[in-house]
Amino acid sequence: MTMPLYVQGAWFAGALLFIFGLKGMSSPASARRGIVIAGYGMLIAIAATFLIPGLQNLGLMALALIIGGAAAWISGQKVKMTDMPQMVAIYNGMGGGAAAAIAAVEFAKGDAHGVATTVLAVVGALIGAVSFTGSCVAWAKLQGVLKKAYRLPAQNAVNVILALVSIGLGAAMVVLAPARPELIYGFFIVALVLGLIVTLPIGGADMPVVISLFNAFTGLAVGFEGYVLGNPALIIAGIVVGAAGTLLTQLMAKAMNRPISNILFTPMTGGAASGEAISGTMKEVGAIDAAAMMRYASKVIIIPGYGMAVAHAQHKVWEMTSILEEAGVEVKFAIHPVAGRMPGHMNVLLAEAGVPYDKIFDLEEINGEFAQADVALVIGANDVVNPTARTDKSSPIYGMPILNADMAQSVIVIKRGKGTGYSGVENALFYTDNCRMLYGDAQPMAGEIIQHLKAMG
């Protein structure tokens, strides 16, 4: 069916708005505007779809939009900032599932398609289904529904077998098109199980990369299915998101110094990890001494981690920062690329607390400044400040770029306990002569520091 020019034009306009919106999301300062622009693009694309002549099931389409829109609006209003990673994961999974569902409908209809179109439909269905179940597992892990990683015996062999079976079934669907229902069912079942089995062994340390990878999968799946439907908005938006997600995944994997293949097939599960023995002892400090160290410093660099997110401490941290700055202390924030549970997690939390963007720096921008800092304050971060990554070749995190917190004159670590990070590696920073441990949840500890800072005047 040839689409009217006005429908194609509206789809193209929507796709352009997606691109401009994605461009805006590249910076925290313009991210909100970018989301709004992309939202208008989606609105135009949806409205144009309803104008297609002869379109059926308009009532069901409207009902689906109302139910989905209401669910998204309500959940978006209620979600906590600390729960944003799991919301991103599940919404991403819904996109992959939608792409797979589009392909399933096309296969079930049995309409004649060219070989190339059928191949793209099968590929889109495969990666969309994998993204759907994989993202659901990621959500369950981040939400705490799945408390640990589950690894099958001969896990990698199972992964390879499932992948080969799904590819084989997909190839059969192309050769035997239109495919029989049992072949379609078998293909989707295997693809869904593949996403589930691949993601279950992956631990929290690798989850930011996994979320980014599935985001790329979803974008590519949507782009391929857009080609099947002849929808330029889906093609352009899907391929742009897929390309951006792929680049982000590569950057995240580089930040961990772990190839993507290792993340998928040799994941850090958070269990016992090898590494050289660490000498020395952890030295505790009180809130009043921590406050004095920062109050009379010239420069303080704050390193937030997931512990800050869990404690909802970002507002207290910003209040503490404001008091220090009023006393003449220079304060900056250092963000590691994989801090938190998704790309940009710490940036979002700090922005929500009102921290200006010009005070937030990434690893490459600020690492050279730690040597001139009087105090490095680590709040709930662990692996991303572990100097073992530089020195211990037997360590699982060896070679991972880290924030040079240990090079500051003094280091204060706010931490709930003496446990290791998600990688399972003991942190050598905690045992250095210039490091002091302030045990407790980040929010009450920051509150105590604020009280002492106010008393110091």
Region for residue 375 given its phi and psi (left: phi exceeds 0; alpha: psi -120 to 50; beta: otherwise):
beta
What's the confidence (pLDDT) of residue 419?
Answer: 64
Q: Are 277 and 425 in contact (CB under 8 A)?
A: no
Residue of 206, 383, 392, 441 marked catalytic: 383
What's the confidence (pLDDT) of residue 424?
Answer: 65
Residues 6+ apart with CB under 8 A from 389: 257, 383, 395, 397, 398, 399, 400, 401, 402
What's the confidence (pLDDT) of residue 270?
Answer: 47
What's the confidence (pLDDT) of residue 272?
Answer: 45
Nearest residue to 134 via CA among 159, 153, 154: 159
- Please count the other Cβ atoms lying within 10 Å of the Cβ belonging to residue 147: 7
CA 173 vs. chain centroid, Å, equals: 34
The alpha helices in 110-147, defined as continuous H runs, are: 115-143
What's the confidence (pLDDT) of residue 236?
Answer: 87
What's the confidence (pLDDT) of residue 231?
Answer: 83
Using N-to-C axis directions, what is the helix angle for 345-353 and 314-326, rounded to 10°? 60
What's the angle, vertex CA 102, arms to CA 97 and CA 103, rounded to 5? 100
Give catalytic status of residue 289 as yes or no.
Answer: no
What's the confidence (pLDDT) of residue 230?
Answer: 82
Q: How far apart are CA 87 and CA 102, in angstroms?
A: 23
Residues 6+ apart with CB under 8 A from 50: 58, 61
The domain 287-456 belongs to what CATH superfamily? TPP-binding domain (3.40.50.1220)
Using a 10 angstrom Cβ sphere, with 0-12 exposed, 13-18 middle and 19 or more buried, the burial of residue 418 is exposed
Q: Are 191 and 129 in contact (CB under 8 A)?
A: yes
The identity of residue 397, as a single letter, is I
Strands of the sheet containing 435-439, edge to edge, are 360-362, 330-335, 299-304, 375-379, 410-415, 435-439
What's the confidence (pLDDT) of residue 422?
Answer: 59
Chain position carrying tokens 């340390």 = 205
DSSP single-letter state for residue 344? T
Nearest residue to 192 via CA among 128, 239, 249: 128
Q: Are 332 and 359 in contact (CB under 8 A)?
A: yes
* 174 HSE (CA, 13 A, CB side): 18
What's the confidence (pLDDT) of residue 271?
Answer: 45
Q: Are 384 and 349 in contact (CB under 8 A)?
A: no
Using a 10 angstrom Cβ sphere, with 0-12 exposed, 13-18 middle and 19 or more buried, the burial of residue 236 is buried
Both tokens assigned to 270: 């958070």
What's the confidence (pLDDT) of residue 148?
Answer: 74
Q: How far apart are CA 21 and CA 381, in angstroms?
A: 32
The identity of residue 200, as a single letter, is L
Using N-to-C axis directions, what is the helix angle for 232-256 and 207-229, rounded to 10°? 160
What's the angle, vertex CA 90, arms to CA 230 and CA 158, rounded to 5? 90
Residue numbers of the chain with a pLDDT score lower than 70:
1, 111-112, 204-205, 266-277, 279, 418-424
Residue 354 φ/ψ, nearest 5 degrees: 100, 10
Both tokens assigned to 149: 């990683």
CA 81 vs. chain centroid, Å, equals: 13
Instruction: Map residue 284 onto helix, strand or coil.
Output: strand
Chain position carrying tokens 């073992």 = 388
